[in-house]
Amino acid sequence: MVANCPEQCDSTEQVDQCSPEFDGLLHVGPTEMILEMPACSVGSHCEPKGAELYDISRLDRINTGFEPKSSSSCQASASVCSGIPDDHNFKESSSSRISLASNQPHSTLVDPDFVENYFKNSRLHFIGTWRNRYRKRFHSSSDGFRDKSSCLNASAVVHKTAIIHVDMDCFFVAVVIKNHPELQDKPVAVCHSDSPRGTAEISSANYPARDYGIKAGMFVKDAKARCPHLVIVHYDFGAYEKVADQFYDILHKHCNKVQAVSCDEAFLDVTNSRVEDPQLLASVIRKEILDTTGCTASAGIAENMLMARLATKTAKPDGQCYISPEKVNDYLCELPVRVLPGIGHVLAEKLKKRQIETCGRLRVISKESLQKEFGVKTGDMLWNYSRGIDNRHVGVIKESKSIGAEVNWGVRFRNTNDTQRFLTNLCKEVSLRLQGCGVLGRSFTLKIKKRRSDAGEPIKYMGHGDCENLSHSITIPMATDELDVLQRITTKLFGYFQIDVEDIRGMGLQVSKLENTDNVHQRNSILSWLVSTSTKDREQEKFTNHTKHNDIVGELNCEGDRGQLCSNHAGPSVRSDAGLSAGVSGSRQGVILPPLHDLDVGVIVSLPPDVIAEINDMYGGELTSFISKYKSDMNMPAMSVDSFEGVTAEEKECHPSYLVQSNKFPFDIKYGDEETPIRPFSAPVSENIAVMPSSLSQVDHSVLQQLPQDLREDILEFLPAHRRLESVPDALLNPSENQTGSPQFVSTNELWVGNPPLWVDKFKLSCCGMLNLFAEMYYRSGHTCHLSSILQRLFCEQRVPLDVGTNEWDDAVSCLCELVKQYLELKIQTDIEEVYVCIRLLRRLNERSKLFGLVCDSILPHLQASFGENYGGTLNVSSVKD
């Protein structure tokens, strides 16, 4: 039927066997299938050509861990290499890096670079991260299918869908032994250990080994028990990567609809292929894979992805199989349900309990019944799959929704130093992966495997054994990929766990709510919030009119609004309804420094030398002399914001300071009543939220006096640098004195009166203080900014977690801390001193919030009193079996 492939494969002969006869179900075995292969082609021309071939780490920082040297490391233990002649070039990359000195040489207790070394040697890490490397390597070519090239003969006939599924045979073994013909017929497996008592896992076993019942995932001791002469070979991740690349190069060459499944497996939609016969195409592809890689692949051909995948199983090893539509029913009838993709041991077990072990039996159950029992989608899947129905389409890999790293092996800790070091390394890994993928994340989940109280040392060496799975998560307002932010977050999250570190058997950090790095500055920077009045008004409308806020995100910020942000005449910091037109000038690139004479020398000189130096640089070195001049004059510049000098009446009337002064400041906001208090951050978004005291100077002194000594000292430390607060220290230092020389605006805001528990005050101080500082900062920055609109953004976009179960204090601080970070990124030098003060205060407060886990004991009762036993809602406990 098929004589020749059109192109380079004229040696292909497998033809006849491939015709869809024989009841439409064809299994072409190796002997029939394989063409005469020059003996040398298996062994000779696919040698690793050099180290650079292994350097997959350059593709992407994701692959930390598969660098050339380690990737093919054949470790020192001679016995492990038993199957391989010593003089063979295979061991050129051998290196012995393992110290056998210690008690537990492969635990977090001993190795400071444990995470890195672990990932270098983890097969699951390799296959788990492969997809991202593929994404990167074939990004341009797989970015949507190009139909034109695939439809060369589409004008003629509308073909029936034809799917090919290709999968390499015993991939990890095949790649390693491809140059060792003497091993081809022996039972061979890839494993870290060759010990007959070892608990290392078999990664892949070749087909001779499978005859002994050896399977991937099995302990090597069990494999050896079944087959004592089983040959164990080492991993060679660099070689796997290289063969996978060759594999996909070939697939892409023959088909433009390729869906990668894994490093050794893909679906092809060959409906519109130039090659009319999918079976011929499959054989051509398989031959080319063998010629190029020296490894065999099997293929399944069918009308849909499900049947193609099942056909591959039948085809293996080194064969191909076509399942015609007529044969689908017969094929499935006796097929164990467990074989269907998507049915794992849990689902299979549930079905078995209902006497359902084959697809034929499954078909008897009604769809409704299946959906009721297993859920709508799963029920649908079971019903369809048992009939060979699969409506999925071959498609490109979608952009990733989450990125994470975890280690559940070799994890043993003695103290929090150990855990901190480990978490830092985990953060490093995750940060690099985020950067490698060009994304930032907003949601972070820390997972911990905790040894069950009744579980002893695991059977598996350095394994996790029987564990509870615990997790906490948090969402921050500003997406990040930065190591230090990640560390703060993980430290905080870790604090939520109440756990004896010695019980920890594994930890992982997962990041979701990913945003593209390229788009983030446009979308999320503070700059983007300082949009022109007209845009802002439009958005305000949206916020009030829409109940679904998320829709708005994408529409924010026309490019035209950017770069027209800054105003030298500030509008009010706090007023949600002000329709002030902002004079606008300046842009992110061209930040205009305030004139030297606008700087408050009193503030400047109170800054640390390095910051002064920095500002001095900004002014081309003129600042120093300016300061000297002022010092000699002994006349401080009088330009105070609060004096409202040189400010238009309109602006003045909007300024919070003025509003307070003239008793127009709406202090009467209430956060619920006494019986049902509403926390500030969970209060409904309204103007009131923005109506806070306009600066820390409004804080009621009696409240300040209540604060713990160390917190007061912190505040004191910052006060001198802030003009508005210059008069406060006296009151703080002399709490008994009445408030002469008190700040300009002493609040009667009820938020600050009364005598609530101390932690509440700290919380309020941090929230209100930060908001106030922000209001002030914006005012001084010369930007028009409606604080309420910022807050609305934060709340409406749900960038601040409002759920009970997260610590509001932490949330407020981390939220605002991120804001300040963004603010700093803008490098608005106008207000560097305020920013500096904010940063330091935030940092201190944030450090406190990190302590949450430690002070948990004192706070928890309050939280529980407020929120009931549900507090800790983010603490999720579930179980995992060994």
Which of 119, 171, 247, 630 is the binder for ligand DCP (CB under 6 A)? 171
Contact between 683 and DNA per CB under 7 A: no
The mark string for 107-146 relative to ligand DCP (x by CB under 6 A, - otherwise) is: ----------------x---x-------------------
* 866, 675 Cβ separation under 8 angstroms: no
Least spacing, CB of residue 311 vs ligand DCP, in Å:
13
Point out which span in 168-176, 245-253, 732-740, 806-814 binds ligand DCP (CB under 6 A).
168-176
Judged by CB under 5 A, the chain residues 258 through 277 that form the site for Mg ion are 264-265
Amino acid identity for residue 544 in this structure: T
Judged by CB under 6 A, the chain residues 297 through 336 that form the site for ligand DCP are 316-317
Q: Which two tokens stand for residue 102?
A: 């210690």
Judged by CB under 7 A, the chain residues 244 through 283 that form the site for DNA are 261-262, 264-265
Judged by CB under 7 A, the chain residues 153 through 212 that form the site for DNA are 167, 191-195, 198-201, 203
Q: Which does 129 bind (CB under 5 to 8 A by kind): DNA, ligand DCP, Mg ion, none?
A: DNA
Least spacing, CB of residue 699 vs DNA, in Å:
31
Other C-beta atoms closer than 10 Å to the C-beta of 808 total 22
Look at residues 388, 869, 831, 803 and name the one whose alpha carbon lies nearest to residue 591.
831
Least spacing, CB of residue 208 vs ligand DCP, in Å:
12
Contact between 286 and ligand DCP per CB under 6 A: no
Judged by CB under 7 A, the chain residues 394 through 423 that form the site for DNA are 398, 400-410
Contact between 167 and Mg ion per CB under 5 A: yes
Other C-beta atoms closer than 10 Å to the C-beta of 416 total 12
SS3 66: coil
Q: Which two tokens stand for residue 631?
A: 């010092």
Q: Which does 401 bind (CB under 5 to 8 A by kind): ligand DCP, Mg ion, DNA, none?
A: DNA
Point out which span in 37-45, 164-172, 180-188, 387-395 binds ligand DCP (CB under 6 A).
164-172
Largest CA distance in the chain: 104
Reply yes or no on whether 288 is catalytic. Answer: no
Q: Which does 172 bind (CB under 5 to 8 A by kind): Mg ion, DNA, ligand DCP, none?
A: ligand DCP
The mark string for 282-311 relative to DNA (x by CB under 7 A, - otherwise) is: ---------------------------x--
What are the φ/ψ torsions at residue 336 (nearest 5 degrees)?
-60, 135
Amino acid identity for residue 39 in this structure: A
Judged by CB under 7 A, the chain residues 477 through 536 that form the site for DNA are 506, 508, 510
* 75, 94 Cβ separation under 8 angstroms: yes
Contact between 583 and DNA per CB under 7 A: no
Contact between 651 and ligand DCP per CB under 6 A: no
Number of residues that bind DNA (CB under 7 A): 100
Contact between 203 and ligand DCP per CB under 6 A: yes
Q: Which two tokens stand for residue 877?
A: 């406990």
Contact between 171 and Mg ion per CB under 5 A: yes
How big is the chain by its Cα radius of gyration, in Å?
33
Q: Which residues contact 451 (CB under 8 A, 6 or more apart)?
A: 464, 465, 466, 467, 503, 504, 505
Point out which span in 4-12, 169-177, 567-575, 768-776 binds ligand DCP (CB under 6 A).
169-177
Which of 464, 492, 723, 850 is the binder for DNA (CB under 7 A)? 464
Q: What is the DSSP string of 348-411?
A: HHHHHHTT--BHHHHHHS-HHHHHHHH-HHHHHHHHHHHTT-------PPPPPSEEEEEE-SS-
Contact between 83 and DNA per CB under 7 A: no
Q: Which residues contact 774 (CB under 8 A, 6 or more apart)?
A: 573, 787, 790, 816, 819, 838
The mark string for 225-264 relative to ligand DCP (x by CB under 6 A, - otherwise) is: ---------------------------------------x
Q: Which two tokens stand for residue 654?
A: 């909007």
Contact between 667 and DNA per CB under 7 A: no
- Set 67, 265, 776, 818: catalytic member: 265
Q: Report how far residue 168's alpha carbon sits from residue 181's, in angstroms, rounded to the nearest whole number.
A: 18
Which of 20, 81, 90, 123 is the binder for DNA (CB under 7 A)? 123
Contact between 169 and ligand DCP per CB under 6 A: yes
Contact between 117 and DNA per CB under 7 A: yes
Amino acid identity for residue 793 in this structure: R
* 253, 59 Cβ separation under 8 angstroms: no
Q: Report how far residue 287's alpha carbon sits from residue 384's, in angstroms, rounded to the nearest whole number.
A: 33
Q: Report how far residue 722's alpha carbon sits from residue 412's, in angstroms, rounded to the nearest whole number.
A: 47
Q: Report how far residue 455's alpha carbon sits from residue 475's, in angstroms, rounded to the nearest whole number.
A: 33
Contact between 168 and Mg ion per CB under 5 A: yes
Pick between residue 264 and residue 429 the one whose CB is nearest to ligand DCP: 264
Look at residues 764, 740, 766 and name the one whose alpha carbon lies nearest to residue 752.
764
Least spacing, CB of residue 131 vs ligand DCP, in Å:
13
Pick between residue 31 and residue 879 the one whose CB is nearest to DNA: 879
Q: How far is CA 592 from CA 618, 619, 781, 864, in A?
A: 10, 11, 11, 50
Q: Report how far residue 528's alpha carbon sits from residue 481's, in angstroms, rounded to the nearest whole number.
A: 19
Number of residues that bind ligand DCP (CB under 6 A): 16
Q: Report how far residue 142's alpha carbon sits from residue 112's, in angstroms, rounded to the nearest whole number.
A: 39
The mark string for 805-824 relative to DNA (x by CB under 7 A, - otherwise) is: x-------------------
Which of 607, 612, 856, 880 is the binder for DNA (CB under 7 A)? 880
Look at residues 270, 248, 259 and name the one whose alpha carbon lies nearest to residue 152.
270
Q: How far is CA 449 from CA 105, 125, 469, 505, 573, in A?
A: 21, 18, 5, 5, 47
Binding site for Mg ion (CB under 5 A): 167-168, 171, 264-265
Q: Which residues are catalytic?
A: 265
Binding site for ligand DCP (CB under 6 A): 123, 127, 167-172, 203-204, 216-217, 264-265, 316-317
